[in-house]
């Protein structure tokens, strides 16, 4: 009987998919342990793999001296130290493509909710204001509005295609222009922000994009503008965002991501009239999370078979 390899599960993901790993390896679940440090010290040395969600520092790799592969649940891997993994000869895999449509759907849900004030209108009815005060306020249209997409990668392109269905005027900003799309490329983010009604952020996190949407960009969107963030919480100066929402220099924002999840900046929690908050759920449907989990399963199974991986990061 062949002994199954050991994998350290640092952070959990969609349980039906995570359980499938037990078919091909023995899993050790750090997040369930009362003393996590002791658990890692006990089980880390025998583990050839680490399963995680966006987090794997060098210290965790060091605790697993026989580490060969890191399974990152999600397309973003800014919390995984890729140079450290590469220098150790450790392969890192993620879950691209399978979540593109789902995240794009959520981005559009936030656009619609932000422009049409769906959550505020719901609250207006529940508080009895329709009967007491009459009809709800007029809101901004979505169709034919001007949208700027910050990051036209796989998910950004799916967002753009959905915006096109709403007959929107679509621009995008990133480091390099794409020659395979009909959308307007803006080399300067400030110029794009000044020209649009809606800014959708869908770019990687990390030091290179930290605070990219700063106070100046936010104010250029203007008192009727909408900021939607389905990227990473770090790409926005959130303190500046809170100030601009409160003083009216930005019309509204809809955020699915935050810098130190599950913590949410306290300044956001008392802003209700022009801010929508969701708990990083853009890819959180049963189908998509199962597909993401099975992408990791297939990567590990392939790696155990012949040493190759299907969705390499490094």
- Please count the CA atoms within 13 angstroms of the CA of 95 that sit on its side-chain side: 28
Domain ranges in the chain? 6-96+286-306, 100-277
Q: Provide the pLDDT for residue 249.
A: 98
In DSSP terms, which residues pair with 283 in a beta bridge? none
Q: How confident is the model at residue 193 (pLDDT cuts 50, 70, 90)?
A: very high
Q: Provide the pLDDT for residue 167.
A: 98
Alpha-carbon distance of 127 to 269, in angstroms, equals 19
Q: Provide the pLDDT for residue 2.
A: 63
**Residue-averaged pLDDT of the chain:** 97
Those residues whose C-beta lies under 8 Å from the C-beta of residue 300, and which sit 6 or more positions away, are: 7, 21, 24, 25, 49, 69, 71
The pTM assigned to this predicted structure is 0.93
Question: Of all residues in the chain, what percent carry a pLDDT higher than 90?
Answer: 98
Q: Provide the pLDDT for residue 60.
A: 97
Alpha-carbon distance of 123 to 312, in angstroms, equals 45
Catalytic residue among 123, 261, 263, 289: 261
Asked whether residue 281 carries a pLDDT value surpassing 90, the answer given is: yes
Active site residue 280: yes
Q: Provide the pLDDT for residue 181.
A: 98
- Please count the CA atoms within 13 angstroms of the CA of 311 that sit on its side-chain side: 24
Catalytic residue among 162, 280, 286, 289: 280
Question: Of all residues in the chain, what percent carry a pLDDT higher than 70?
Answer: 99
Please write the tens of the pLDDT for every residue from 7-47.
999 999 999 999 999 999 999 999 999 999 999 999 999 99
Asked whether residue 1 carries a pLDDT value surpassing 60, the answer given is: no
Active site residue 191: no
Q: How confident is the model at residue 54 (pLDDT cuts 50, 70, 90)?
A: confident
Q: Provide the pLDDT for residue 36.
A: 97
Backbone angles phi, psi at 207, to 5 degrees: -65, -35
User: Is residue 235 a contact partner of residue 212, using CB atoms and an 8 Å limit?
Assistant: yes
Catalytic residue among 54, 115, 232, 289: 232
Q: Provide the pLDDT for residue 34.
A: 96
Q: What is the CATH number of domain 100-277?
A: 3.40.50.720
| Maximum alpha-carbon separation in the chain | 74
Q: What is the CATH number of domain 6-96+286-306?
A: 3.40.50.720
First to last CA, the chain: 33
Active site residue 15: no
Alpha-carbon distance of 275 to 77, in angstroms, equals 27
Please write the tens of the pLDDT for every residue from 146-186.
999 999 999 999 999 999 999 999 999 999 999 999 999 99
């Amino acid at each position: 009987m062949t002994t199954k390899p050991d994998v350290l599960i640092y952070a959990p993901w969609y349980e039906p998919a995570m359980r499938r790993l037990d078919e091909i390896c023995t899993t050790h679940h750090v997040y369930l342990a009362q003393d996590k440090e002791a658990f890692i010290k006990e089980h880390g040395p025998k583990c050839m793999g680490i399963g995680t969600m966006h987090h794997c520092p060098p210290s965790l790799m060091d605790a697993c001296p026989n580490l060969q592969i890191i399974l990152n649940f999600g397309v973003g891997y800014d919390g995984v130290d890729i140079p450290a993994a590469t220098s150790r000869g450790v392969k890192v895999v993620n879950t691209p493509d399978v979540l593109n449509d789902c995240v794009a759907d959520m981005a559009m849900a936030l656009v619609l909710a932000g422009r049409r004030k769906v959550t505020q209108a719901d609250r207006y009815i529940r508080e009895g204001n329709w009967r007491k005060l009459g009809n709800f306020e007029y809101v901004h249209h979505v169709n034919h509005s001007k949208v700027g997409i910050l990051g036209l990668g796989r998910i950004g392109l799916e967002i753009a295609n959905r915006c096109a269905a709403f007959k929107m005027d679509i621009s995008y900003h990133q480091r390099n222009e794409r020659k395979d799309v009909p959308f307007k490329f803006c080399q300067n983010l400030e110029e794009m922000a000044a020209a649009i009604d809606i800014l959708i952020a869908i770019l990687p996190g990390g030091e290179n994009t930290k605070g990219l949407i700063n106070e100046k960009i936010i104010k250029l969107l203007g008192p009727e503008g909408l900021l939607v963030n389905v990227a990473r919480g770090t790409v926005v100066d959130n303190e500046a965002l809170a100030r601009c929402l409160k003083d009216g220099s930005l019309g509204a924002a809809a955020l699915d991501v935050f810098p130190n999840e599950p913590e949410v900046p306290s300044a956001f929690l008392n802003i209700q009239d022009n801010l929508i908050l969701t708990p990083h759920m853009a890819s959180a449907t049963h189908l998509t999370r199962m597909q993401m989990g099975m992408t990791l399963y297939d990567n590990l199974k392939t790696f155990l078979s012949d040493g190759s991986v299907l969705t390499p990061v490094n």
